[in-house]
Amino acid sequence: MKIYSTACPRNCYSTCSMKVYVENNRICKVEANPENLAAPEGVCLRGLSYVERTHSPDRILTPLKRQPDGDFREISWDEALDTIAGKLRFFKEKSGPQSVLYFTGSGTKGLLNAVGAEFWRLYGGYTTTYGDLCWPAGLEATRLTLGENIHNAPWDLENARLIIMWGKNAAETNIHQMRAIDLALEKGAKLIVIDPRRTQTAETAELLIQPRPGSDGALALSVAHLLIENNRVDRDFIDKHVLGFPEFARKVKDFTPQKASVITDVPVKYIERLAEYLGAVKPASICAGFGMQRYTNSGQTMRAIIALTAITGNIGKPGAGWIYANLQTFIFDKIKDPIAFFPPQKPDGTARVSIPIARLGQAMLETKNPPLRMIWVERANPVTQNPETHKVLEAFRSLDFRVVVEQFLTDTAREADIILPAKSMFEQSDVIGAYWHPYIQLKQKIIDPPGRVKPESEIYLLLAQKLGFPAEAVAGKIPGASDEDIEAYLEKMLAPFPELTLERLKKGPVLAPGTKEVAFADLKFPTPSGKIELLSREAEERWGVDALPDFFEPVESAPRRSKESKKYPLYFMTPNTKNRVHSQFNNLSLIRQFSPGPFVLLNPDDAVERGIKNKDRVRVFNDRGELVLPARIDFSMKSGCAAVTNGWWISEGGAVNFLSLGRETDMGYGSAYHDNLVEVERAEGAAHPANRSLRRKGSG
């Protein structure tokens, strides 16, 4: 049995290092690699399930082609590539290369992901997407305020004396962060959790504050009001390092605790206690989650929360700071901040053909000159993970041809004409970074692909050959198929960084060159003024928002939609769960033991009002769609809210984006699909017929 060091490439904070045991080309065991100081104590349940995931009998091991009756049959690689190449030639000739949409997600990280874009450039161009489903409003808010997206090393959090988890349930979504929190608490730190749900993270909290969804900005501005009014701010730090404080102070003067209490549903005494803690206890760290910045007001909300760290002087010190995204490992990117999510530009400054990911379905249908005729999907499951599942399905089915590269028959794969089998993380080497800790890691090849599986880079190489791309044009952009070719490609990418070699990375994780364990310790901020900018002219000019952090209601909220809110009075929350990375992993039997099916979480007051009892089948619905699910009644949920974890497949009955609408955040081109009001009532039927009608014949 051999033991290899590798790392998990999933879209997850932890990006865990792991030791993998291999015998006879099979994964036998996965365990922690303690060299990663951010995640030294073990892989999560999902990591343990890699043994099953890699060798699952449901895994796609050969190309599949849709038949006229809707079923798939196995085909050879030659037939698959000949079919795809023929379609690509036809669409390029008849409609131009930009009639092809190249859609990628964040299902797996790695430098080799860049090979796909290189292929499509060689093809002559393509249509792409801009924006992101995950985090760009918060990224842009941070960039505008602090200049770049970095934060203290994860293990520094144990130095904090006050930790505020604002909209973040680390116990499920960032489990290794809880170790640092526990160490801090053992040293006497205080934990405050701000979340409409009483999560597992809140169980050891000194204070739990449950604001109305989408109202966090008003809460932050009110806390700022109290800090300034009671002179609990760091005047020396502000004078030296903060731009726009006088204007900000005038802005928040009207955000009294009484006013904020009406907006947020948070009692005045809790707002005052939050301000007292933040004004008195240092060093303080504020850790913000991603879900809170998926509203139409979320960029400004995040700016308001960041301002609290600035005016209290909690930046640039051990145990203090703004913890959101740590892009210190993004050393290979030419641009490593949210501008990368903006609409692509041609050299002459005109926009290249691209469509907003937040409005994917509608934008696909609206695209003209040329209209879209084909889509290629990899590392993504947009049918269920993008807003407006109905519209995404309609857009997919309006195309002439669909190719999906996948390991399993996801909802998106079931819509394909050709499915190409994707490698697992253990079947090709790659170099990966992280967005929470500062380690560069090698995702090392440790087994050969099963069946007729080919890594995506090899698929592109073979397709380039089928299309007759010149060998000299392909060389250097698309690596060869051998392990030696892949390692040579990665060494070339690592060449600018002498500290990073494949031999070194094979031994374990390596800190990114120039890593700062305490972000902004030099108190230099790469903003236009060189200071923390509470007053940002760029925010005003680029995004059309107030130059100062401000609060306004989300587009879809009870106060702004009084008529609709009578019809749909509940805020629909779709949080992550520790059992899945969005729509990945729940098809595995190990995970299903702990996550057998979807349910909607309701507060007892809301349940009683609707005559709903625990485990009753209920309809969760609005004008856009509905789900039929069992109800779970629990005081952990704030009254006026309903929650279903995201990532369920359509066949499982919990695809939450049947109810969402494609909207963009106020900055960063993020997806504001958490602007979402619903109603819940007892269900007469047992299933949702509209969902069934959306299934393709033969697709399950």
Pair of tokens at residue 55 = 């060798």
Q: Give CA–CA dist 663/242, Å, rounded.
A: 33
The separation between CA 551 and the C-alpha centre of its own chain, rounded to angstroms, equals: 24
Query: Is the pTM of the predicted complex or chain greater than 0.75?
Result: yes
Question: Model confidence over 414-461: pLDDT tens digits?
Answer: 999 999 999 999 999 999 999 999 999 999 999 999 999 999 999 999
- Could you give the CA distance from residue 198 to residue 207 in angstroms, rounded to a whole number? 11
For the record, the structure tokens of 626 come out as 């509905």
DSSP letters of 322-338?
EES---TT-TT-S--SG
Dihedrals φ, ψ of 248, to 5°?
A: -65, -40
Q: Tell which residue, 167, 275, 164, 257, has the closest CA to residue 211.
A: 167
The CA distance from 322 to 284, in Å, is 9
- Is 360 exposed, middle or buried, given 0-12, 13-18 or 19+ CB atoms closer than 10 A? buried
Residue 76: Cβ within 10 Å count: 12
Residues of the chain with pLDDT under 50: 347-351, 686-700
C-alpha–C-alpha distance, residues 665 and 554, integer Å: 9
The residues with which 127 forms a beta bridge, in sequence order, are 101
Name residue 192's amino acid: I
**How many angstroms from the chain centroid is the CA of residue 358?**
13
The owner of tokens 């099963």 is 450
Q: What are the structural domains, with CATH classification, of the chain? A: 2-54 (2.20.25.90), 64-126+331-432+439-511 (3.40.50.740), 136-328+518-543 (3.40.228.10), 562-693 (2.40.40.20)
DSSP 407-428: SS--TTGGG-SEEEEPPPTTSS
What's the pLDDT tens digit per position in 118-165? Answer: 999 999 999 999 999 989 999 999 999 999 999 999 999 999 999 999
What pLDDT is stored for residue 338 in this prediction? 59
Please tell me the predicted confidence (pLDDT) of residue 685.
55
For 24-139, strand residue ranges (E) read: 26-32, 64-66, 72-74, 100-104, 128-130
H-type helices in 62-111, by residue range?
A: 77-95
Query: Given this model, what pLDDT does residue 346 score?
Result: 53
| Residue 41: predicted pLDDT | 83
* Cα–Cα dist 179/190, whole Å: 15
Model pLDDT for residues 164-203, shown as the tens digit of each residue: 999 999 999 999 999 999 999 999 999 999 999 999 999 9
Distances (CA, A) of 476 to 33, 118, 175, 432, 465: 33, 10, 39, 20, 15
Distance CA 474, CA 109 (A): 23
CA distance 433 to 435: 7
Distance CA 681, CA 659 (A): 15
Question: Residue 193 to residues 283, 294, 314, 382, 517: CA-CA distances in angstroms?
Answer: 17, 19, 18, 32, 24
Q: Identify the pLDDT of residue 250.
A: 97
Spatial distance between the Cα atoms of 64 and 368, rounded to a whole number of angstroms:
30
Strands 439-443 and 430-432: antiparallel
pLDDT reported for residue 698: 36
Beta bridge partners of 286: 164, 322
| Whether the Cβ atoms of residue 63 and residue 76 lie closer than 8 Å to each other | yes
pLDDT at 686: 45
Comparing C-alpha atoms, which of 671, 606, 614, 667 is closest to residue 642? 606
Residues making up the chain, counted from first to last: 700
